[in-house]
Chain A
Amino acid sequence: MEPLTLAIPTGRLFAEAAALLQQLGLLTAVPRERTLVFPASNGRRVLIAKPADILTYVEQGAADAGIVGKDMLLEQERDVYELVDVGFGFCRGVVALPEAQLDRWRHPGTLLRIATKYPHITSRFFERERRPVEIVELHGSVELAPRVGLADGIVDLVMTGQTLRDNLLTEVAEVFQSSARLVVNRVSLRTKATLVQPLVEQMKSAAAAGAR
């Protein structure tokens, strides 16, 4: 059997994901974020990829398992097993508008132009809310869009709310809640069960211990 390959994301979740793998004894040293493939204990490999690419690696089987934010799972709707809430990276996705636009939110029939990294989630949310929307897809610094007139508001992740306050944005609705998840390829779950299952159990215990 091929050894297990685990994908972890750069960025927001990287430090905690690497620390978790270290705690579980999978990694002996924390790799630098720029490393791409890192050999881990027992022949396992750890692969470091952009958050938006983790699910592609896992769905196609290039990685057997991965750690990824729930936000990506909701946005991309890939065919992977979501098995464990690993208990870090908590954040919320919200609709936020500048003061001047708040009045338009109070009239649900008004068309809003929303900048976001989550076009799919955003369009489903506005559909569910029966509010007309025009989506501007961005890949970063979403909070700038209303300031420069690119959009009326944003849908983005918030942790403390500081970025929103810095940019004079007010949360008007919660769209989703997110935390890091362990995902597994549907074939690896079965053909590499002897490698995958211990990992799942370890992560479940680690998450339970973290929650206490």
Chain B
Amino acid sequence: MRVRNGVNRRWQHVPEGVRDLAPPEAARHSALAAAVRGEFQRWGYAEVRTPPVEYLETIVRGAGPGIQDHLFKIVDSGGALLVLRPEMTVPIARLAATRLLPGAAPGRPLRLCYVAEVFRGQETGRSQLRAFTQAGVELLGEGTLDADAEVIALAATCLRRAGVTDAVVHVGHLGFLDDLLAALPTDAQDDIRARLYRKEFAGIEHAIPDPSLAGLLRLLPDLHGEGALARAGPFATSARSRAALRDVEALVARLRDYGVADVVRVDLSIIRDFSYYTGVVFEAYGAGSGYPLLGGGRYDTLLDRFGADCPATGFALGLDRVLSVLPADSGAPTAVLLAADPERRPEAIQLAMELRRGGVPVLASVATDDAMLQAQQDGHRWVVRMTGEGIVLWDPRTATQRPVDRATLLAVLRAPSDDRVIEWSH
């Protein structure tokens, strides 16, 4: 096999912001997706799939007009504007409001989850991915702090399960600041909200006449961690802002029951990128990523935009971001390399099929002189050589070999493995 290296042609590349996943990257990706999906199922969340394309109207209705500049758009044959979904919360809100909730038992919450590729039309030259995978949950129909606690605990558990050992989850509440801003004249309010959205804090205190609120905005970027609630307290002058702080305090207490309180930090400075959030919001961070690993929160008014009045909360985890902070392993190779001389090939194929039926992964190849070397390089657990003289079982870890009969071979190879991949594959 030879690869000719010709001139640089477009057909040799993929468009900017998208990428191929080759081995072992694709396997790491799938293993993480399976681990997270498994966790979702253990908490009683049922998987949904929605189409990768939606009407532009649907996405704008859910996420607000600001989303329009960040979309991959397609003109349908009939002239309708379609977009590749930029996230999953809005499509799931559409699905739930129009199809799932009308038929559901009243008062019974829906727990939905997904693992899906989403698309953003980032400006070129930004070196950010335009297609990436999100795994997340939506808990619809429960407006309580218990629901907030459940999704936050599930988020923290997913990161732990994925192997992110140093992740912290920051939890805040949009109601705290939102209510204080609502007291401002409309012009000042719009200006301040735009600045907050851009995270532009330099000089923000000069943009408002109210000295108390100016003080809060000056303090806001540091309003997290130990004592954040106490520091925020004096600024909470309205009923709703006080309630928001009480909610956060109660939420942290509930998270102790889940055993995740040690990674949870109060953070009243969180500003999420999507406009549909209404209450408790959270983000998780880990060393090695300049972006949050996951984010989410309560969005009690989103489903109403699709015709169902229903409180909701959820989160989305960036699979690619989580992978970027995990140590790169070489992936899980096929357990057994079965190398047979051509005349023993029929027998080798039968053996391989029997092993595979028993759940043992087998790579069947033609016997070569460098099978041992290949096994050591690729990390196969066992090498089986079938030649005219019989069957030899070689252990690359100890570099020892022994002649075996078929029964012994099957017994050894079927012995349970401690490989992580086995656990993740179901």
Interface residues contributed by chain B, number (CB under 8 Å): 23
Q: B199's contact among A79, A187, A190, by CB below 8 Å, is which?
A: A79
Chain A residues near B224 (CB-CB < 8 A): 190, 193
Counting CB contacts under 8 A, is B198 at the interface?
yes
Counting CB contacts under 8 A, is A134 at the interface?
no
Contact B287 A2 (CB under 8 A): yes
Chain B residues near A182 (CB-CB < 8 A): 202
Contact A85 B203 (CB under 8 A): yes
**CB-contacts of B254-304 with A (<8 A):** 265, 267, 269, 285, 287-292
Q: How long is the Cα–Cα vector from A133 to B265 in the complex, in angstroms?
A: 49
Contact B290 A83 (CB under 8 A): no
Q: How long is the Cα–Cα vector from A104 to B269 in the complex, in angstroms?
A: 48
Q: How long is the Cα–Cα vector from A60 to B321 in the complex, in angstroms?
A: 11
Contact B285 A82 (CB under 8 A): no
Q: A81's contact among B168, B221, B285, B291, by CB below 8 Å, is which?
A: B221
Chain A residues near B168 (CB-CB < 8 A): 190-191
Chain B residues near A41 (CB-CB < 8 A): none
CB distance from A90 to the nearest CB of B (A): 13
Q: How long is the Cα–Cα vector from A190 to B295 in the complex, in angstroms?
A: 14
Counting CB contacts under 8 A, is B173 at the interface?
no
CB distance from A87 to the nearest CB of B (A): 10
Contact A60 B285 (CB under 8 A): no
Contact A61 B291 (CB under 8 A): yes
Interface residues contributed by chain A, number (CB under 8 Å): 29
Q: B289's contact among A58, A187, A200, by CB below 8 Å, is which?
A: A187
Q: A186's contact among B127, B199, B222, by CB below 8 Å, is which?
A: B199
Chain A residues near B265 (CB-CB < 8 A): 190
Contact B267 A190 (CB under 8 A): yes
Instruction: Please encode chain A, from 27 to 70, with 1 for each CB lying within 8 Å of some chain B CB and 0 for all others.
Output: 00000000000000000000000000000101111100000000
Counting CB contacts under 8 A, is B320 at the interface?
no
Q: B285's contact among A56, A77, A80, A187, by CB below 8 Å, is which?
A: A187
Contact A61 B289 (CB under 8 A): yes
Instruction: Please encode chain A, from 178 to 190, with 1 for each CB lying within 8 Å of some chain B CB and 0 for all others.
Output: 0001101111111
CB distance from B292 to the nearest CB of A (A): 7
CB distance from B253 to the nearest CB of A (A): 21
Contact A83 B267 (CB under 8 A): no
CB distance from A128 to the nearest CB of B (A): 15
CB distance from B87 to the nearest CB of A (A): 16
**CB-contacts of B196-233 with A (<8 A):** 198-203, 221-222, 224-225
Given contacts A82-B198, A83-B221, A190-B170, contact A59 B203 (CB under 8 A): no
Contact A84 B290 (CB under 8 A): no
The total number of A-B Cβ pairs within 8 Å is: 63
Given contacts A56-B127, A186-B292, A190-B285, contact A81 B199 (CB under 8 A): yes
Q: How long is the Cα–Cα vector from A189 to B201 in the complex, in angstroms?
A: 13
Contact A84 B291 (CB under 8 A): no
Contact B221 A60 (CB under 8 A): no
Q: How long is the Cα–Cα vector from A181 to B224 in the complex, in angstroms?
A: 22
Q: A181's contact among B202, B221, B290, by CB below 8 Å, is which?
A: B202
Contact B289 A193 (CB under 8 A): no
Counting CB contacts under 8 A, is A22 at the interface?
no
Counting CB contacts under 8 A, is A197 at the interface?
yes
CB distance from A84 to the nearest CB of B (A): 6
Chain B residues near A61 (CB-CB < 8 A): 288-291
Q: Which chain B residue shows the least CB distance to A64?
A: B290
Contact A193 B222 (CB under 8 A): yes
**CB-contacts of A73-94 with B (<8 A):** 73, 77, 79-85
Chain B residues near A197 (CB-CB < 8 A): 222
Contact B290 A185 (CB under 8 A): yes
Chain A residues near B203 (CB-CB < 8 A): 85
CB distance from B167 to the nearest CB of A (A): 10
Contact B202 A84 (CB under 8 A): yes
Chain B residues near A189 (CB-CB < 8 A): 221, 269
Q: Which chain B residue shows the least CB distance to A185?
A: B290
Given contacts A56-B127, A81-B221, A193-B225, contact A188 B202 (CB under 8 A): no
Q: A73-B200, A186-B292 are in contact. List 8 more A-B contacts (CB 8 A).
A: A56-B127, A61-B289, A79-B199, A82-B199, A83-B201, A181-B202, A188-B290, A193-B222
Q: What 4 A-B pairs have minimum CB-CB distances, sorted nearest first?
A: A61-B290, A85-B202, A81-B199, A187-B285
28 A-B pairs whose Cβ atoms sit less than 8 Å apart in the complex: A56-B127, A58-B290, A59-B290, A61-B289, A61-B291, A73-B200, A79-B199, A81-B199, A82-B202, A85-B202, A184-B221, A185-B290, A186-B290, A186-B291, A187-B285, A187-B290, A187-B291, A187-B292, A189-B221, A189-B269, A190-B170, A190-B265, A190-B267, A190-B285, A191-B168, A193-B222, A193-B225, A200-B222
Q: Which residues from chain A sit less than 8 Å from chain B, CB to CB? A: 2, 56, 58-62, 73, 77, 79-85, 181-182, 184-191, 193, 197, 200
